[in-house]
Structure 1
Amino acid sequence: MAARSYDETSTAATTAVVDIRIKRNWAEKWVDLVDSSKWLAIFFCEAETIKPAIPNKEESRGLKGFWKEFVWFISSVIRGMAQLTWNDNIWTGLGILSGACVGNWCVGICAFIGCCYTTGFPLLFGPPELKPLVGSGIYGLNGTLLGMAMGCFDARASQARTFDEVMLSCCRLFLPLSFMAVFCAVVTQWLNTKWTAKTGIPACSWPYNISMWTWIACATLTTNFQTIYTANPPSAPQYGQITVEWFFRSWMTGISQMMFSLNMWSGFCLLVGAFIGSPSTCFLTIWGSLIGVVTGVLLGMPFNSIIGLGVIGFNPIIYATGMGGQFVAPSLVGFIWMTFGCVMCGILAQLATNLAVLPWGGGSYSVPFTLMTTFMFGLFQEDLVARVPLMPARL
């Protein structure tokens, strides 16, 4: 009888222990809600954790399957725009798209079109294994940059203000943008196969640079298209005085230049989207622009033309967001090397300006960033720089 009473007491105590529920805070409840909903997961989670909307062909038949695939594709396109800051969060992509449209509607529309082409190309012509990478938006990065650049550097599109002018400019650029976006997608796939797969070094934005140089060289020799370089030849460097207002404006304009915009509100849109996707990316964006402005001031670069227009901040920002936590694991040593790379991006940008932009027109685009990234990856992989942990999953 005593043994039975002991067993009942022990069972009741065990049951009481099992029934104890840990109180969950609001953040944990929100995570559970997102995990339980496929539609919320599409918008908030990283694409790597999301299964394709249609797992097999049988379920993809019919109108319902089409709309699911369409939503997945649009999500991949917007994530491709978010890859401008090396994130795959859809809200970051929407912030970048909004910032581009705030600066110039042509730039935003062309960026979306270019990203659609470079995202859809590997889905149509690549192996099925590429679908998770396409879903993360990594193939949309170069298409986004190409669309923004073509919309910005076209003389008519850059000056379009009314609805009619914007639509006319976008229609006029649609055909060349389509051809160049497909060419960019082909170059991307070729570099991934011949370069990244063998060396482990990402191609970054080399496809964008190659495609943009090709387009500028062709457009310069035609009469139907006029770039800002031929319409407005490069002028002499303009210097000025350093003030607090000028410094802050140059700092923010450098962030706006990520979307090829001179409007500071474009930069604020990017920062909001980057903060939602990753607060560390938001900080690195601000840090990269700051390093670019400080480097330009210390080197005595033209205040009103190079620094004031934010051009000096473009490459340091891309490098900071990429090497500050996406390609390299966050660490103090990695942060120091990332800052060094940002300074070198500013120096290389000035070098390209003196050797290429001013003498014959054209632009360096993101070449300083790609050169520094390739160089630093070579140092890291050859163990010439110790204690810098790489993140191979990001390659």
Structure 2
Amino acid sequence: MDLIEKRAPFISETLKGVGQIMLQENIWTGLLFLAGIFYDDITMGVAAILAAVVGTVTARVLKYDPAQISMGLYGFSATLVGVALTFHFRAEPVVWVMIIVGSAAAAVIQHFFIERKIPVFTLPFILVTWVLVFCLHHFTSIPAPVALVETSMFSNEVNDFTTSTNGFGEVIFQGSFLAGVIFMVAVFISNPVAALYGLAGSILGAWIALLFAEPITQVHIGLFSFNAVLCSIVFAGVKRKDGLLAFIACALAVLIDIYLLKADWDILTKAGGVLTFPFVLGTWLTLPIRRLFYQFSNENEG
């Protein structure tokens, strides 16, 4: 890893940018994420690499903080934009142009919030994707791509393990069981605690969705788990209060997700759906609680 960082810093920055999708500053995590995407869909894989490169190049050209670029902070929202657009639309020339424009825009928006020390996580990806998907739906007639092979074809049996790992896969729009496992392993390589938290969060997300009688097929493929996976990773830690915070964030994210889906707002549907907005909002609502927890702990210690 050190050799790649020294001899090929741009490759290191790009791969870390992909890894930061699940908050991991790790080259191998990013490489495995790309492997999982390519396994499910080659076009999405190409889009992911292109978007990550554009996000990183944008940060370099605009002379953002080299330390932040090295951490991959300008690649993850950009990468998600690329994957999202090729998930929603057939890869025609205008879509590739929008991937380049959207990835650059995501990096710029990310920088705006980083400079102000506002933790927005994947919000730049969400905002850019909503705008681009809405515009492409409104101004073009580009159809959706050929549907990816359904998750059920990768496994003849649905169980708690496949449901939980599918939550990892859906973070990056991947529906196969194997992609989910690859993503979970990728996080585990970087941070075993975060991977286990993510697994627990995915199961919790599915359980909450079942309590609200959400469609079982959607629950099994991870559509109510991926936001919970991200929330769990954010608050992963070895202290009991970390587990409680992760639980709160997961529960909030899933409930927000369910509410937005049941609201069935037409404009949200035309803009590409809820994406990772429940994760962002659930995390924002939990961060003040974390501050209170730590403030209370410090007062007791004092």
TM class by shorter chain equals 0.7 to 0.9
Matched, 1:307 2:224: no
**Greater CA drift, 309-318 or 272-281:** 272-281
Residue 110 of structure 1 aligns to a residue in which SS? helix
Cα deviation code 1:286-330 (max 9, x no counterpart): 1121111111112211112x31231111100111111214xxxx4
Structural mapping, 1:1-395, within 5 Å: 40-42=1-3, 53=6, 68=7, 71-127=8-64, 130-154=65-89, 156=90, 169=91, 171-194=93-116, 196=117, 201-227=118-144, 245-304=158-217, 306-325=218-237, 330-356=238-264, 361=269, 362-381=272-291, 386-387=296-297
In the alignment, is the contact (CA less than 8 A) between 1:312 and 1:346 conserved in 2?
A: yes
Q: 2-side partners of 1:173 and 1:220: how far apart?
A: 11
Report deviation, 1:119.
1.5
Distance 1:214 1:42, change over 3 A: farther
Distance 1:384 1:348, change over 3 A: farther
Q: 2-side partners of 1:103 and 1:136: how far apart?
A: 27
Q: Give the structure 1 partner of residue 151 of structure 2.
A: none
Distance 1:187 1:359, change over 3 A: closer
Report deviation, 1:385.
6.9
Report deviation, 1:379.
3.5
In the alignment, is the contact (CA less than 8 A) between 1:106 and 1:170 conserved in 2?
A: no
Whichever residue aligns with residue 338 of structure 1, its letter is A
Whichever residue aligns with residue 271 of structure 1, its letter is M
Q: Percent identity?
A: 19
Residue 107 of structure 1 aligns to a residue in which SS? helix
Q: Give the structure 2 partner of residue 12 of structure 1.
A: none
Distance 1:98 1:170, change over 3 A: farther
Report deviation, 1:383.
6.5
In the alignment, is the contact (CA less than 8 A) between 2:225 and 2:254 conserved in 1?
A: yes
Cα deviation code 1:117-160 (max 9, x no counterpart): 11121211134xx1111111122111121111112121x2xxxx
Q: Give the structure 2 partner of residue 59 of structure 1.
A: none
Distance 1:90 1:360, change over 3 A: closer
In the alignment, is the contact (CA less than 8 A) between 2:47 and 2:82 conserved in 1?
A: yes
TM-score, scaled relative to structure 2: 0.86
Whichever residue aligns with residue 114 of structure 1, its letter is A
Report deviation, 1:251.
2.3
In the alignment, is the contact (CA less than 8 A) between 1:101 and 1:108 conserved in 2?
A: yes
Whichever residue aligns with residue 251 of structure 1, its letter is S
Residue 189 of structure 2 aligns to a residue in which SS? helix
Cα deviation code 1:334-381 (max 9, x no counterpart): 211111211111111111111246786230011111112222223434
Report deviation, 1:184.
1.2
Q: 1-side partners of 2:261 and 2:9: how far apart?
A: 41
Residue 226 of structure 1 aligns to a residue in which SS? coil
Whichever residue aligns with residue 192 of structure 1, its letter is I
Residue 300 of structure 1 aligns to a residue in which SS? coil
In the alignment, is the contact (CA less than 8 A) between 2:232 and 2:247 conserved in 1?
A: yes
Q: 2-side partners of 1:342 and 1:42: how far apart?
A: 37
Residue 245 of structure 1 aligns to a residue in which SS? coil
In the alignment, is the contact (CA less than 8 A) between 1:219 and 1:227 conserved in 2?
A: no
Number of residue pairs matched by the alignment: 288
Q: What 5-or-longer segments of structure 2 have no aligned partner?
A: 148-155
Report deviation, 1:382.
6.0
